[in-house]
Amino acid sequence: MEIVEYKRENVKELVKRSQIDVDDVLSSAQSITDEVNLQGDEALFKFTEKFDNVKLKHLKVSKEEIESSYHNLEPEIIISLKKAAKNIEKFHRSQLPEEWFQEVAPGIRAGQIIRPIESVGCYIPGGRAVYPSTILMTVIPAKIAGVERIVCCTPPQKDGKIGDAVLVAADLAGADEIYKVGGAQAIAALAYGTESIEKVNKIVGPGNVFVTAAKKLVYGEVDIDFPAGPSEVLIIADETGNAEFIAYDILAQAEHDPNASCVLVTTSSALANDVQNMVLQNIKYMERSNIIKESLEKYGKIILTSSLEESLNFTNEYAAEHLIIMTKDPEETLKHVKNAGSIFLGELTPVSAGDYGSGTNHVLPTAGCAKMYSGLSTESFLKKPTVQRLSAEGLDNLKDVVVPLAEYEGLFAHAESFKKRLKK
């Protein structure tokens, strides 16, 4: 990890990180989604064999497979999943909004009601690792929101099965259907429907570049959460920061992906040097050392600033997926944070706490999208229709608003529909 000095003129260069270059794979993703749309299950079997090297007979996971996963999985993992699920449920239940009505003016009542999306597809990535935690993060909020049908899609393993932990997590979270299909083909199946997989109204969950491209292509046919790229962390620290903890937070984030981004922003040159040395010393002991090395060589940075204000300016411009605050007064620093996906306060709060069990969601915006998106939440699965009702008094109250404005805009039928009620 190189150490660089913060300068206003090099901010654009410093905030650069790995981007999923969707444009490079859009045409390939389009071919896959089009074929699934036209050929349904036949295309899903074909692409699963081509990309996952698995020849399947059935796409849907059976009840027997789910039941056997409980017998196969270590009891301590089941206990961990149950505890994580409990915390995630408690946190996300607090996010449920309330319906409301108010009298806007005499005779005019207006408000907002809450309705769940009827069906949701949760994409669970495979590839370098299995992610039972992502099942919990996507399915539980949807369940709390009241979604009637929750579908999970995830790539099969080489033996044609889904990992036991993933199946147990899906069952604990309350998924209604689980399918052995991944990649752009899974997104297409959820968006358009096939013989085996009925289409959904919204697709959520992270994935690789093909998944991201496919989500962009089907947006409009269905809703999506947000485009998600490689994972990232930014740590803002002053001279009180714990160098060992920071080094391990960087190593933890870098092991996700060769394109993960890890940044330390600090006012302390001594801390910067200590962290740099600790990272270099400990990489060789990490199981995924090759991935970590590649990630840090490409997207690892330590940025030296002259003040906490400069650190915060850069932090807000970077808009990290994960933000760790290790300053003398983390709560005070937090007051000045504008953009971040999920925030971790103090030296005893690693990102891994939020990844697995503190209750907050780990499906988060990346690549600066925290400037405009929030992470996945219960509200991601809700619709909020507005409602209004006018009395005779309310109708009379609005006549000098609706009629003149409608006629000014040339929408005379709008005005007439209002005037007819006035006459009555």
Query: Which pLDDT does position 9 carry in this prediction?
Result: 72
Query: Which pLDDT does position 424 carry in this prediction?
Result: 74
- Residue closest to 19 by CA, chosen among 188, 213, 204: 213
The residue length of the chain stands at 424
**Yes or no: domain 2-19+229-359 corresponds to CATH 3.20.20.80:** no
Query: Which pLDDT does position 96 carry in this prediction?
Result: 96
Delimit the domains of the chain by residue range. 2-19+229-359, 22-224, 391-423
- Residue closest to 175 by CA, chosen among 156, 153, 193, 155: 153
Q: Which of 137-151, 203-217, 236-250 has the lowest mean pLDDT?
A: 203-217
pLDDT bin (cut points 50, 70, 90) of residue 129 is low
The tens digit of pLDDT for each residue in 152-200 reads 999 999 889 999 999 999 999 999 999 999 999 999 999 999 999 999 9
Kindly name the residue from 35, 89, 255, 322 that is annotated as catalytic.
322
Query: Which pLDDT does position 423 carry in this prediction?
Result: 82
Is residue 124's pLDDT more than 80? Answer: yes
Is residue 208's pLDDT more than 90? Answer: no
pLDDT bin (cut points 50, 70, 90) of residue 18 is low
The tens digit of pLDDT for each residue in 314-336 reads 999 999 999 999 999 999 999 99
> Residue 210 and residue 28: Cα distance in Å, rounded?
8
- Calculate mean pLDDT across residues 273-287: 93
Average pLDDT, the chain: 93
User: Are 299 and 17 a contacting pair, CB within 8 Å?
Assistant: yes
- Residue closest to 168 by CA, chosen among 109, 81, 236: 81
* Phi–psi pair at 104, nearest 5 degrees: -70, -40
Cα–Cα separations (whole angstroms), residue 360 to 89, 140, 152, 374, 384? 9, 11, 20, 12, 23
User: Are 347 and 118 a contacting pair, CB within 8 Å?
Assistant: no
Please give the model's pTM, rounded to 2 decimal places.
0.92
- Calculate mean pLDDT across residues 124-143: 88
- Residue closest to 222 by CA, chosen among 202, 206, 205: 202
pLDDT bin (cut points 50, 70, 90) of residue 127 is low
322 catalytic? Reply is yes
Is residue 390's pLDDT more than 80? Answer: yes
CATH topology of domain 22-224: Rossmann fold (3.40.50)
309 catalytic? Reply is no
Kindly name the residue from 35, 89, 177, 321 that is annotated as catalytic.
321
Q: Do domains 2-19+229-359 and 22-224 have the same CATH topology?
A: yes
